[in-house]
Chains A and B, each alone.
Chain A
């Protein structure tokens, strides 16, 4: 609000490493063309995405609304019973700004239907009746539960994709994709992804430029799988440091010794290298055993969209 004086010592909303700063006007334009192109080539006019209340999905909602209009976007909020109520409030704030369609799909019954009733914190094992997953599933780890939740959200979005007649838009950023902080066939599943080549710091920069609500930009990133969880506490590093490290190692092809010379901690560098290598399988289409004369992805190589492939 322009008529209110800023707080005396207003903190910047986020830390943006200099080498990661992008021209946000060009990025908006490029991404808008990308979104329109993907939809047109597939014969779709509408899009659907999962809106968590976090910055990544908020930014994608803004980008899609800018590209095709908010009236063609459906945001689906899919909380589990332990999801933070603040997350839903933040998601609603995004929807309020954009004026797009919104649906609430609680995934609690889907998840508990498989794992059975969980303990009081909603994540650890409880003593209730087993679900479809059997008695063993009652004691399922947070990892199993978190992955399952992500896949229930995926299943919901692909169902809504049919009823809304829109493509599922991906909301994963480059940082989490590189370190493998994603669920295979879960949150990474999509028809196309407009922000998958933007580091978290760049997601923040672009979000600020587009007017994503400040509360969404400022809050600590979280998978929101259990109360109080944050990405940075769980992984043990800050996004600006991780983004810079990945940028120098991958985009700028610096060796381990060279990034250590730039000031990065060698233990962190080696750990992140292992995470990136260990997540390679999550970023690629599964290999098919080569047997016949032409094999998809090997020597049968067509663009995803070509004449005849549009549903329109």
Chain B
């Protein structure tokens, strides 16, 4: 297996300015290709900016949009790229999408499944949630798993992608920096949380994790960058600087996946049929279709213990 050069496009998209962002993507695709990259990854909503609100319906694209075709064409010959935008479906739902473009064609689209709508986030108000978590084959010779930001705050996402055949997990993000407590790693609570999540996922799925987070400012939110590549042992191979815009190149040896999966056969030992069985039981119990088998008599729904707290 050939070594792979991954280009992390840690950019600051212009909010709502699709044309400017497309132009920037085309420039960086050319720069990455010239630098010998095989895979270029752009952040969540890199083509539109994040805090869109009612602009979402004004910058949305159908999958046959000529601007996507233009970006796909820039991957010919031989390049792979992950770009993110607002996808409008035929029935006019708007999704936060990440697409794998390869060798001139749009190969796979992932629609963000988990839309944070709490605290500073209001995504469910403006967007529809995706319904699938599927790995995709890639010309890179490995399975790829695409996920968008909050998708990785749900442990099922990386697990499903890895069991579905992904060896390279790609998370594209627009993560706003917050919690500057002095006690945090890198002085930023958000960075600390993300790093522990991604190292854990890389190790538990024995896969590469590529995380690309944007920089720049939308309204009150400052995005912190800190894009990373983590190897299948869970060890970080590269950490981009916080807040600096740039195209960062990282070389990885995809054969590390095989070595690690033979050394640490966690995926071999997964028990998807057991997990599915227990999920089915939980689903029936949570819907009230059957009694909660693990609860004490007299306990309230969703709470296993009968005693008052």
Contact = CB atoms under 8 A, between A and B. Distances in A.
Given A33-B243, A306-B55, A22 B219 contact: no
Contact of A22 (B14, B52, B180): B180
Contacts of B55: 302-303, 306
A25 B241 CA distance: 13
Contacts of B53: 301-303
A22 B177 CA distance: 13
Given A37-B216, A303-B53, A26 B15 contact: no
Interface in B48-67: 51-55
A301 B17 CA distance: 17
A22 B16 contact: no
B218 A27 contact: no
Interface in A210-244: none
A41 interface: yes
B219 A26 contact: no
Contacts of A11: none
B16 A303 contact: yes
By CB atoms of chain B within 10 A, which of A23, A27, A33, A41 has the most? Answer: A33
A303 B16 CA distance: 9
A120 to B, nearest CB: 46
A304 interface: yes
A127 interface: no
A302 B56 CA distance: 10
A37 B216 CA distance: 7
Interface stretch (B150-158, B183-191, B266-274): B183-191
Contacts of A30: 177, 180, 222, 224, 243
B180 A306 contact: no
Question: On chain B, which size bracket covers the interface?
Answer: 20 to 34
Contact of B219 (A25, A36, A304): A304
Question: On chain A, which size bracket covers the interface?
Answer: 20 to 34
A300 B180 CA distance: 32
B222 A34 contact: yes
A225 B262 CA distance: 73
B52 A303 contact: yes
A38 interface: yes
A37 B14 CA distance: 10
Interface string B195-227: 000000000000000000001111100101000
B180 A303 contact: no
A144 interface: no
B59 to A, nearest CB: 9
A7 interface: no
A300 B187 contact: no
A77 B183 CA distance: 38
A286 interface: no
A22 B187 contact: yes
B181 interface: yes
A27 B180 contact: yes
Given A33-B215, A33-B217, A303 B15 contact: yes
Nearest to B186: A26
B142 interface: no
Contact of A29 (B14, B183, B184, B242): B242
A305 interface: yes
Contacts of A307: 14, 16-17
A155 interface: no
B181 A21 contact: yes
Contact of B187 (A19, A23, A37, A302): A23
A307 B52 CA distance: 11
B215 to A, nearest CB: 7
Contacts of A19: 181
Given A22-B181, A33-B243, A306 B16 contact: yes
A26 B216 contact: no
Contact of A306 (B15, B182, B242): B15
B175 to A, nearest CB: 13
Contact of A37 (B16, B184, B217): B217
Nearest to B215: A33
Contacts of B15: 41, 303, 305-306
20 contacts: A21-B183, A22-B180, A22-B181, A23-B180, A23-B184, A23-B188, A25-B187, A26-B177, A26-B180, A26-B242, A27-B180, A29-B242, A30-B180, A30-B224, A300-B54, A302-B53, A302-B55, A303-B15, A306-B16, A307-B16
Given A27-B187, A306-B16, 16 more contacts: A21-B181, A21-B182, A22-B181, A22-B187, A23-B184, A26-B187, A26-B188, A27-B180, A33-B215, A33-B216, A33-B243, A34-B222, A302-B53, A303-B53, A303-B55, A306-B15
Interface of B: 12, 14-17, 51-55, 177, 180-184, 186-188, 215-219, 222, 224, 242-243
What 3 A-B pairs come out closest when comparing CB atoms?
Answer: A23-B187, A37-B217, A26-B187
